[in-house]
Amino acid sequence: MQKIQYDFTTKHRNGQALQLTGFLHEPGAHLPQQQWPILFFIPGGGLTHIEADVDDNIALAFYNHGFSTFYMDYRFRSDQQPLLPAPLLDVANGLQVIHDHAATWHLDNDKTVLAGFSIGGLLASLLADLPENQQFLSEHGLTGSTLKSQALILGYPVTDLTMGWPHTPAELPEIAADPALYVAKNWLTPQHVPTFIWNTVTDGAVPPLNALDYVTTLVKMDLPVEYHLFHHGPHGMALATKATARKPAHQEAHVAHWTGLAIEWLNALWPNSFSD
């Protein structure tokens, strides 16, 4: 395994460069495989921070199933207000860097999975449909063909900034001048990629109606989706195992099944590509 860290020219207000972290498989004479699928994870953190130790463990979990995995930080509320679309542009640049380095990093650009948890779920869902949003691409000088992905995984996602997160209306102006521009279901097109979503009824921080509303729209548009609503669990469970548990309630064997279910789902999309 090779761990890489790529610094961007974009910086936080404190001068720290945005950074992409990757865990790469490497070809060898004893390995028949020469390229690996990509999982690009977009963390949550309330647009105030990311938890790199948790993100490392999420990335490594999927690395162990046969992905080369990446995650990155992005601009936060402390960097500028209103914040959006800055973090979306940051993760778009991150995906561009990943695809641009496909040959060097031994990546299969045609098997790119975006994944996002909590507010990272909103960024991931918007990024998944960004290649078809010609107005946004034009406004920000992006090229859709270089930002394509083939699957999307969302964990306890925010999908609409007016559906319970942020928790107070006073926070909205810090995040978006016009929250209506960033409603994930409104970005959906017939080209939307197959999507796997999970959350819990008792999340407590991001109402499950965010995911339910998004899933309902996917179903109405006849777009491929698999959805798991677990009966119990707090917000921020991540892998729901000891590796990412911030408190005992974050460790729950039943919810932890989501990872295996997601791998099964990916193997249905790309048969026999990943270890179970």
In the chain, where the domains are located: 2-269
Average pLDDT on 248-264 reads 96
User: According to the model, what pLDDT value does residue 151 have?
Assistant: 98
Q: Which CATH superfamily is domain 2-269 in?
A: Alpha/Beta hydrolase fold, catalytic domain (3.40.50.1820)
User: According to the model, what pLDDT value does residue 89 have?
Assistant: 98
| 276 pLDDT tier (thresholds 50, 70, 90) | low
- The mean pLDDT value of the chain amounts to 96
End-to-end CA distance of the chain: 19
> Between these two residues, 273 and 163, which has the higher pLDDT value?
163
User: According to the model, what pLDDT value does residue 274 have?
Assistant: 67
User: According to the model, what pLDDT value does residue 31 have?
Assistant: 77
pLDDT (tens digit per residue) in 155-204: 999 999 999 999 998 999 999 999 999 999 999 999 999 999 999 999 99
Instruction: Point out which residues pair with 154 in neighbouring strands.
Output: 116, 197
Q: Beta strands 225-230 and 36-42: pairing type?
A: unpaired
User: According to the model, what pLDDT value does residue 182 have?
Assistant: 98
Res. 50: pLDDT tops 70: yes
Ranking 27-31, 79-83, 199-203, 230-234 by mean pLDDT, the lowest is 27-31
Instruction: Point out which residues pair with 230 in neighbouring strands.
Output: 200
| 252 pLDDT tier (thresholds 50, 70, 90) | very high
User: According to the model, what pLDDT value does residue 156 have?
Assistant: 98
Distance between CA atoms of residues 18 and 70, nearest Å: 13
Instruction: Point out which residues pair with 152 in neighbouring strands.
Output: 114, 195
Average pLDDT on 62-85 reads 97
Distance between CA atoms of residues 112 and 68, nearest Å: 10
User: According to the model, what pLDDT value does residue 275 have?
Assistant: 64
User: According to the model, what pLDDT value does residue 29 have?
Assistant: 73
Distance between CA atoms of residues 184 and 12, nearest Å: 26
Share of the chain above pLDDT 90, in %: 94
Average pLDDT on 247-275 reads 92
Measuring CA to CA, how many Å separate 173 from each of 29, 170, 179, 253? 55, 7, 9, 39
Residue pair 17/92 in contact by the 8 Å Cβ criterion: no
| 262 pLDDT tier (thresholds 50, 70, 90) | very high
Q: Is the pTM of this model over 0.95?
A: yes
Average pLDDT on 216-222 reads 98
User: According to the model, what pLDDT value does residue 30 have?
Assistant: 77
pLDDT (tens digit per residue) in 4-39: 999 999 999 999 999 999 999 998 877 778 899 999
Query: Which is nearest to 273 in space by CA: 185, 61, 265, 150?
Result: 265
Average pLDDT on 131-157 reads 96
